[in-house]
Structure 1
Amino acid sequence: MRGTRHWTGTASTVLCLFPNAAFAEVCDKIRPGWDISHGPVSQVDNVVFFFSASPATIVFVGLIVISLLLRNRWMCLISALVSIALATVLMLDWVFEWGGKITESGIAEGCVVPPYLLTVVFLFAFGACLVVALKRRREV
């Protein structure tokens, strides 16, 4: 009898390691609208999701576009600071695993990927805004 309980406990522990409904609940919270039938999330999907998930990101993109089009030094500096701050938070979150078991479950299910491309996008925005902000204006 005792051996059967041990075997049952081991089997249930092993089965819990595979993706199941519990993982799907994590993905519903991390990435709403994602379904396992769509396959794992790609880097491009991660960027699109990030920029479409919140009105704040739309404001951020608008700030960058307006500051680059107007070539306003102060707006570009603010955009550069926000860009580098977001890139830093993303990478620190990934490196120090602030998400913990939720992030691990999302990776196992396929709804979470490392934010490499998203960080590159933020660093590119930082560089573009910094170049515009630090560029000397020609005297007319």
Structure 2
Amino acid sequence: MGPVRRRLTTAAALVFPAPAWAEVCEDLRPNWDGTMMSGMDELLHLFQTPLVLLLVLATALAVRFRREWGGVAVVVGWSLATFLLTGTGGSYGIMDIGRVEGCVGSPALFIAVAVAVCIGVVLYTAPRQRGKE
């Protein structure tokens, strides 16, 4: 589905609420208590997912053993996780409706933390420069 068609579909869903609209938050966040989710709430929610917990462990191992290829694998994993978990991985319209309803917060803080982790891993696991002679 093209970007224009996706935007039109999202706009139509936002302008003309349907009975399915009310069920979005029940599907996305079954234990949601009705309060608006902030960026920090969304960060904490995304950091509790199994994929991110696995990435935190893999990042710790890559940094501990200071391996270049481990760092590359972790950066690719963080990029993939950010793509999939922030709503751009196939369920774009549903996440937008969830943000409008308030059960999904802004993923900007999670993206910023993931970028910072990736930059740190790349800088730390980069090969050391030998002294120039």
TM-score (norm 1): 0.66
Percent identity between the aligned chains?
Answer: 25
Aligned to 2:27: 29
Q: How many residues align?
A: 116
The yes-or-no answer on 1:65 pairing with 2:63 is no
Amino acid at match of 1:25: E
How far does residue 42 in structure 1 lie from its aligned partner after superposition? 0.9
Residue 8 of structure 2 corresponds to none
Gaps of 5+ in 1: 1-15
CA root-mean-square deviation: 2.9
Q: Please, what TM-score do these two structures have when normalized by structure 2?
A: 0.69
Mapping for residues 3-18 of structure 1, pairs under 5 Å: 17=17
Matches within 5 A, 1:1-140: 17=17, 23-36=21-34, 39-53=35-49, 55-88=50-83, 93=88, 98-100=91-93, 102-136=94-128
Question: How far apart are the structure 2 equivalents of 1:105 and 1:43?
Answer: 16
Deviation string 1:58-108 (CA, Å, 9 cap, x unpaired) is 1111001121122222211211222233345567818xx8421x2333122
Quick check: 1:90–1:119 contact (8 Å CA) kept in 2?
no
Shift of 1:115: 1.3
Q: In structure 1, how many angstroms separate the alpha carbons of the residues matched to 2:87 and 2:38?
A: 20
Q: Which has the larger radius of gyration?
A: 1
Compared CA separation, residues 86 and 30, structure 1 to 2 (3 A) = same
Find the aligned partners of 1:24 and 1:62 in 2 and give their Cα distance: 37
Gaps of 5+ in 2: 1-15
